[in-house]
Amino acid sequence: MEINDERGISLAHTTILRWVQRYIPVFEKRWRQTHRWTNGRYVYQGQRKVGILIPGAPTTTESLQYACRLPMKDFENAMQVAAAVAGKADLIATRNIRDYAKSSIRALLPKQVLQAVKDL
Distance CA 15, CA 21 (A): 10
Q: What is the pLDDT of residue 5?
A: 67
Q: Find the farthest-apart pair of alpha carbons in the chain and give their distance in angstroms, rounded.
A: 63
Q: What is the pLDDT of residue 51?
A: 41
Q: What is the pLDDT of residue 57?
A: 65
User: What percentage of the chain reaches a pLDDT higher than 90?
Assistant: 4
Distance CA 84, CA 81 (A): 5
Q: Answer whether 105's CB lies under 8 Å from 91's CB.
A: yes
- Model-level pTM? 0.52
pLDDT in tens, 1-46: 565 566 676 767 787 778 778 878 887 887 777 777 777 676 666 6
Sign of CA dihedral 70, 72, 73, 74: negative
